[in-house]
Chains A and B, each alone.
Chain A
Amino acid sequence: MNAAARHSMSETVLEASGVTMVFGGLTALNDVSMTLGEGRIVGLIGPNGAGKTTFFNCLTGLYTPTRGSVRLRGNQLPSDPAKVTVAGIARTFQNVRLFPNMSVLENVLVGRHIQMKQGPLASLFHGPGFHRVERAARKRARELLEFVGLTGDENTAARNLPYGDQRRLEIARALATEPAVLLLDEPTAGMNPQETEAARQLIFRIRDTGVSVVVIEHDTKFIFSLCDSVSVLVQGEVLVEGSPDTVRDDPRVIEAYLGKPREEVEAEVAEARTTVIPRYRDDQPGDQTEVIERYREDQP
């Protein structure tokens, strides 16, 4: 409810409420909620293993949440990645996962799959309608390649692209499904500052076309300069949620994600230096319990 109220200025597109994901005895996500407004960019940050990608997988139907629900424009999402994509959510992957031996253009055309309706017979006989649809798909695919800034040879195998271009191609392929919501899993991992800046501009341009975006990132500078709102996920729970400014200054976030403030760390280090750490000496086995007890007393 709170989250919804905060985003009341724009219509809610994607709403995850109380998503809990349990693997055997491990609770990967605990009661995670998130709201994405129309034409917004929401960031998801958190230390490694916080459950960011698990949350993404719950949004895209790869996992079915143990509890809680994910709604797109008020409709419960099916638990099947193919159907989720049809419903209007597209994603990229943390480690780029293109179709390596297909050409650049073909990769985007695969993204057009759900937008094309040719059945087996039309594909077999290549009637006049077939060519019209095919031409339209190619035209749109080329537009998208240009949109993400891939101007090189469209017939190169995707595996031969430089790394940054592979990331862009993945985004073009996701956009080809004409999604309402785009989920980007660490879009700037492994990029240099120039490429990161280009990615930021690209995400803004995607937002401007009316697609709402959720971004997972490690690069906090990147996320704070990009997002309308940021959620911090720690150990499977939302620690803080709010505008980049509130999140940035929240001491809990600084501690959980960025580490403790500098003065505190320095004090700790100084204290550690003065503390005598007792050593276990194996030539005096009798001393063992005494040493341990002394050590415990030394601890605050």
Chain B
Amino acid sequence: MSRFTALVPRALGRPLSAIGGVLLLIAAMLPWATFLLNEGAYPDKATLQFFDAPFELTGFRWHMLLFGIAGVVITFVPLLGKGRALRALGWGGLAISVVSAIFITSEGGGLGAITAADGAYAFGAVAGILGGLALIFGAGAVGIDDIPHWPDAPFGWTGWAERLFSWAVLLVSFVAMLWLVSETLTAGGSAGVSSPYAGAVFLAFLGMAGGLLGALHGVGFTGWISRMSERHRAFSVVVLLVCAAALPFTSAGTQYWMNVAGTIGIYAATAIGLNIVVGLAGLLDLGYVAFMGIGAFVAANLSGATAAKLGITLPFPVAAVIAAVVVGVFGVIVGSPTLRVRGDYLAIVTLAFGEIFTRSAQNNIGDLTGGANAIPSIPAIAVGGLEFNEPITLFGTELPAGVMYYFLITLLVALVMAVFANLKNSRIGRAWIAIREDEDVARAMGIKTGKMKILAFLTGATLAGLAGAVFAHKLGTSSYDAFTFLQSVTLLAAVILGGMGSIPGAVMGAALLFVLPEKLREFEEYRLLLFGLALILIMRFRPQGLVPDRLRRAEFAGETAEGKSIEAVQEQAVIEQEHELEASKGGKA
């Protein structure tokens, strides 16, 4: 894209991006559809003109309005990284417009729906698309510079002043993030398939969120926040936990979304476990979901479900620990071939292991898995008479059923994150990364690579086993078809999509991969097509993952860890070397 945007002369940059901003503004005020769609007014007031209902501007038109204002303001304000910010705003506006245009066109039966038909005019989408493009091209001409580096503490504050300031900023940022997450979940209807426009509204919202975050990243804000949260790690962790616990109290606190959020959490925990094996130790595992499955079946058999053959009833914590231990043993068994096989061959071995598990479970091996009938009616987890699948009242607020599972899973994710972070920043984590980078050299450094690789499998498998145990109880059933190759691949995609070796990345990846299909339900037959398309686009434009590990981010962006461009650093080194050479020549002469 930069090839094309560079075609615009620099002098045209500002006027063009200003025009883009104004076009977005105008688009927000114009009608978007020429007639009322069969399913009802396209989201909110989009079929009406701004002038008909100026104070009822909601949904994506509101976002377009804000993007337009931001575009115009940023164009004329002296601001470092403005090119990046304008470009992100342009892409955001373009995404919102394109999604809406495609949707209205297909629903309304032709291009007439978004242009002119039967004497009515609706050029909102057209103006939005043009505005988005103008911003993108204008931004290219303004210049895409390095992301500015904000000073860590303002006014040179130190000690308590810096601490209080950082805490306040972090608190506001995390609350804003909570709002964004809650809004993203509920965009287009808070109870699933309630609105016929849910998919389009959700995608438009994603476009807005992407544009907003991109712009904040471009001006250096997100980098500043992330450095701040690294400095105040304990505080950030506490606030994040509180925010996660507060999600049920927001508009996302419905039974449906608590359920989805719980499922995401379980997959996120599993993805972080997989991240140890793949992201840290670099061992490609294509059968990872089998560990989760074994955990689920062990827990199911110990839960007292009537279909369970063992007929033993153990309290959940005990069953979960047993499940984790059993799965850990399987982890060691599967890990042992890694001593002999590497790379692609290891992937095939793990793939085979995954298949062995699925087929065995399908055929009800040892009467332990229920075969095609699965193990149904697993009782809910109960602690002190509190059934986890019942609604509860907390602080005077009625919380929906499933919220206890949500809390439990939040704890599980926090635990898995702590395990990952602690191991990563230790002698063992470094040994894993060294093995990933160069196994022979790792050996030459005295690392017992075989032991370390098996340890990676053991840890990853144990975490997956824990997640599987919770999963079985939450779902109330444990069936082989929840643990197939497709799930393994999706988990792997979550890890790679989010950014290898990064914790927030794995959570983001899992959230995206398990929310997106849920949100795209009303596209029915196109659902998986769109899903695949989204994956391809993300990997094309962000190969390092959504929230990459610090050093990995640098690797892909051609930047050093501090955000300087590698080329600039290398040039500097060459210049210094030449200076040295000249100096030494001068000295000799």
Residues of B within 8 A of A86 (CB): 446
Question: Is A75 engaged at the interface, CB distance under 8 Å to the other chain?
Answer: no
Question: CB of A225 within 8 A of chain B?
Answer: no
- Give the CA-CA distance A173 to B438 in the complex, in Å: 14
Instruction: Please tell me which stretch of A11-19, A23-31, A114-122, A239-247 contacts chain B, meaning at least 4 of its Cβ atoms lie within 8 angstroms of it.
Output: A114-122
A294 proximal to B (CB < 8 A): no
**Are A123 and B445 interface neighbours, CB within 8 A?**
no
Cβ contact within 8 Å between A113 and B555: no
Chain B 437-454 against A: per-residue CB contact (8 Å), 1 yes, 0 no?
Answer: 110111111111100000
| Alpha-carbon distance between A103 and B553 when the two chains are bound, in angstroms | 13
B552 A123 Cβ-Cβ under 8 A? no
Given A103-B551, A157-B561, A160-B560, A82 and B447 touching (CB < 8 A)? Answer: yes
From residue 109 to 131 of chain A, which have CB atoms closer than 8 A to chain B?
109-114, 116, 118, 120, 122-126, 130
In chain A between 129 and 156, which residues have their CB closer than 8 angstroms to a CB of chain B? 130, 134, 137, 153, 155-156
Residue of B whose beta carbon sits closest to that of A116: B427
Contact, CB under 8 Å: A120 / B455? yes
How many A-B pairs have beta carbons closer than 8 Å: the answer is 120
Binding site for A on B (CB under 8 A): 419, 422-423, 426-431, 433-434, 437-438, 440-449, 455, 459, 551-552, 554-555, 560-562, 566, 569-570, 573, 577, 580-581, 584
Give which listed residue, A130, A153, A173, A193, contacts B445 with CB less than 8 A: A173
Q: Would B455 and A157 count as touching, CB distance under 8 A?
A: no
Residue contact B422 to A125, C-beta cutoff 8 Å: yes
The 8 closest A-B pairs by CB, nearest first: A123-B426, A85-B446, A114-B446, A99-B437, A162-B573, A81-B443, A123-B428, A110-B434
Indicate if the CB atoms of B423 and A113 lie closer than 8 Å: no
Contact B566 A160 (CB under 8 A): yes
Cβ contacts under 8 Å, A123 to chain B: 422-423, 426-429
Say whether A113 contacts B429, CB under 8 Å: no
Q: Are A156 and B423 in contact (CB under 8 A)?
A: no
Is A34 among interface residues, defined by CB-CB distance under 8 A?
no
The 0/1 profile, CB within 8 Å of B marked 1, for residues 233-274 of chain A is 000000000000000000000000000000000000000000
* 5 chain-A/chain-B pairs, Cβ below 8 angstroms: A85-B445, A97-B438, A110-B431, A137-B427, A162-B570
Note all chain B residues with C-beta closer than 8 A to A80. Answer: 443
Residue numbers in A under 8 Å from B419 (CB-CB): 124
Given contacts A81-B440, A160-B566, list 15 more A-B pairs with CB under 8 A. A62-B444, A81-B444, A82-B448, A85-B446, A93-B441, A99-B434, A102-B434, A102-B551, A110-B430, A120-B459, A123-B423, A126-B426, A137-B427, A156-B561, A192-B581
Asked if A106 CB lies within 8 Å of chain B CBs, one says yes
Smallest Cβ distance from B554 to chain A, in angstroms?
A: 6
Number of interface residues of A (CB under 8 A): 47
How far, in angstroms, from A113 to B448 measured CA to CA in the complex?
10
Which of B423, B441, B447 is in CB contact (< 8 Å) with A124?
A: B423
Q: Is A60 an interface residue (CB 8 A)?
A: yes
- Where the two chains meet, the residues of A that have a C-beta atom closer than 8 Å to any C-beta of B are 60, 62, 80-82, 85-86, 90-91, 93, 97-103, 106, 109-114, 116, 118, 120, 122-126, 130, 134, 137, 153, 155-157, 159-160, 162, 173, 177, 192-194
Question: A82 touching B443 by the CB < 8 A rule?
Answer: yes
A102-B434, A162-B570 known; A97+B441 contact, CB < 8 A:
yes
List of A residues within 8 angstroms of B459 by Cβ? 120
CB closest residue in chain B, given A162: B573
State the Cβ distance, A294 to closest chain B Cβ, in Å: 56
The CA of A97 and the CA of B438, in the complex, are separated in Å by: 8
Q: Are B447 and A113 in contact (CB under 8 A)?
A: yes
In the bound assembly, the distance between CA atoms of A134 and B429 in angstroms comes to: 13
- Chain B minimum-CB-distance residue to A153: B562
A157 vs B437: C-alpha distance when bound (angstroms) = 12
Min CB–CB distance A127 → chain B (angstroms): 11
Residues of B contacting A155 with CB < 8 Å?
561-562
Q: Considering the chains assembled together, what is the distance between the CA atoms of A93 and B440 in angstroms?
A: 11
Q: How far is the CA of A93 from the CA of B438 in the complex (A)?
A: 12
**Closest residue of B by beta carbon distance from A193:** B584
Considering the complex, give the chain A residue whose CB is closest to the CB of B572.
Answer: A162
Asked if residues B555 and A157 are in contact (CB atoms below 8 Å), the reply is: yes
Once bound together, how far apart are the Cα atoms of A137 and B431, in whole Å?
Answer: 14
Task: Give, as a whole number of angstroms, the nearest-CB distance from B513 to chain A.
Answer: 25
In Å, the complex CA distance between A83 and B459 comes to 25
Cβ–Cβ contact A110 & B445, under 8 A: yes
Q: CA of A130 to CA of B555 in the docked complex: distance in angstroms?
A: 30
A144 and B569 CA atoms in complex are apart in Å by 24
CB distance from B458 to the nearest CB of A (A): 9
Cβ of B399 to closest chain A Cβ, rounded Å: 33
State A211–B555 Cα separation when bound (angstroms).
Answer: 35
In the bound complex, do residue A101 and residue B446 qualify as a contact, i.e. CB atoms below 8 Å apart? Answer: no
Q: How many Å lie between the Cα of A278 and that of B455 in the bound state?
A: 71
- Contacts known (A102-B437, A106-B430, A124-B423); A157 close to B446, Cβ less than 8 A: no
CA distance A123 to B428 in the complex (A): 7
Q: Is the CB of A99 within 8 A of B455?
A: no
Query: By the criterion CB–CB under 8 Å, are B445 and A177 in contact?
Result: yes
Asked whether A120 lies within 8 Å of B428 as measured between CB atoms, the reply is yes
The CA-CA distance from A134 to B430 in the complex, in Å, is 12
Q: How far is the CA of A160 from the CA of B440 in the complex (A)?
A: 21
User: Do B555 and A159 touch across chains, with their CB atoms under 8 A apart?
Assistant: yes
Q: How far is the CA of A82 from the CA of B441 in the complex (A)?
A: 9
CB distance from B535 to the nearest CB of A (A): 24
Q: In the docked arrangement, what's the CA distance between A111 and B554, Å?
A: 23
Are B434 and A157 neighbours in the complex by a CB distance under 8 Å? no
Inter-subunit contact A99/B448 (CB<8 Å): no
* Contact across chains for B581 and A113 when beta carbons are under 8 A apart: no
Cα distance A124–B425 when bound, in Å?
Answer: 10
Nearest residue (CB) in B for A103 is B551
